[in-house]
Amino acid sequence: MEFTCRQELYLCNALSRHIDMPTEILHALQDLFRLVTEHIECISGRNRYVETLPGQMGRPKLDIERETLEEFLETDLPVPCIAKMMGVSIRTVFRRMQQFGLSARRYSSMSDEELDRVVQDVKNEMPMAGYRMVKGRLRSLGVHVQWRRVAASLHRVDSLGIISRLAGLGCVVRRTYSVRGPLSLWHVDTNHKLIRYNIVLFGAVDGYSRKVMCLRVATNNLASTAFAAFKEATEKHGIPSR
18-44 tens-digit pLDDT? 677 777 777 787 778 777 776 665 655
For 192-210, what is each residue's pLDDT tens digit? Answer: 888 878 889 999 999 888 8
Q: In terms of C-beta density within 10 A (0-12 exposed, 13-18 middle, 19 or more buried), how is residue 32 classed?
A: middle
Rounded average pLDDT over 149-172 = 73
Instruction: Give CA–CA dist 196/86, Å, rounded.
Output: 33
Rounded average pLDDT over 132-150 = 84
- What sections of the chain are H helices per DSSP? 2-15, 23-43, 66-74, 79-86, 90-100, 112-125, 131-140, 147-157, 159-169, 223-237
pLDDT category at 46 given cuts 50, 70, 90 is very low
- Collapse the DSSP code of 151 into the 3-class scheme (helix H, G, I; strand E, B; otherwise coil) and give the result: helix
Q: In terms of C-beta density within 10 A (0-12 exposed, 13-18 middle, 19 or more buried), how is residue 80 classed?
A: exposed
Locate the domains of the chain by residue range: 2-100, 112-169, 186-237
In percent, the amount of the chain with pLDDT more than 70 equals 75
Count of beta carbons in the 10 Å neighbourhood of residue 95: 14
With b for 16 or more beta-carbon neighbours within 10 A and e for fewer, the 182-205 pattern comes to bbebbeeeeeeeeeeeeebbbbbb
For 54-80, what is each residue's pLDDT tens digit? Answer: 665 656 667 788 888 888 777 667 788
